[in-house]
Amino acid sequence: MITGASSGIGAAAARCFVEEGASVVLMARREERLRLLAGEIEEAGGRAAVVTGDVTDQADVERAVEVALAEFGTLDAAFNNAGQGTLGCRLHETEQAVFDRIMDVNVRGVWNCLRAQIRTMLTQDTGGAIVNTSSTAGLFATGAIAPYVAAKHAVLGLTKTAAAEYGDHGIRVNALVVGATRTDMLATALEAAGRRELDVVARAIQRRLADPVEVARAAAWLCSDQASFVTGGVVPVDGGYSAV
């Protein structure tokens, strides 16, 4: 199950997971994009199901889990990647509606997904693996707006707590600390804030944007048995941003 799958990191993850042999449930709000991606996957010999929905709606999330079970029999892994954020507005200038939406998507969305996914994985002898998308903003004040920084810190808290509570049940939960990545969301945020790519990568050792597939590969590894001894992890995919 991959949320935020219609573009960027989520779409790259869908392709990457399928290349590793997984069948995927693609969830996002933009149905047309999801169906185009699913068609691409199926033409290449993979299996993909589409669920149009919003992670802030618990019923939509539960429907995605139900589709995974109906189509593929189990829910072995989940990549909770849907997110929303922006740049360039100070805390006291941020509108309440912006705060509400960012917290809803990034925190409530992960909360909704974890609850539905874990309930199902608890019924499976094989347990499961979950990866949540956090950010360098989950560790630092990066220049993103305050609600986004707070939300991505919260994602790390949810990740560690879930890992601790369900490790005995064979469920691994990890988070990616993602650096600046070439996505539609970042491009929109840079344009709105009047900032350049160089501004957001200047601190990172590699001083470049990530390609979405570079993040997707890390998620695929964490969801696989190759990462069987990794849980509660905060795994940087940030070009060295958090190392300096």
Strand-pairing partners, residue 240, are: none
Nearest alpha-carbon partner for 171 in 215, 222, 109, 237: 222
d(C-alpha 135, C-alpha 57), whole Å: 23
d(C-alpha 120, C-alpha 143), whole Å: 37
Rg from Cα positions in the chain: 17
Q: From the CB of residue 164, how many other CB atoms can be counted at a distance below 10 Å?
A: 12
Q: Tell me if residue 148 is catalytic.
A: yes
Residues in the chain: 244
Would the CA dihedral through 110, 112, 117, 122 be positive or negative? positive
Active-site residue (options: 148, 162, 183, 189): 148
Residues annotated as catalytic (active site), given as ranges = 148
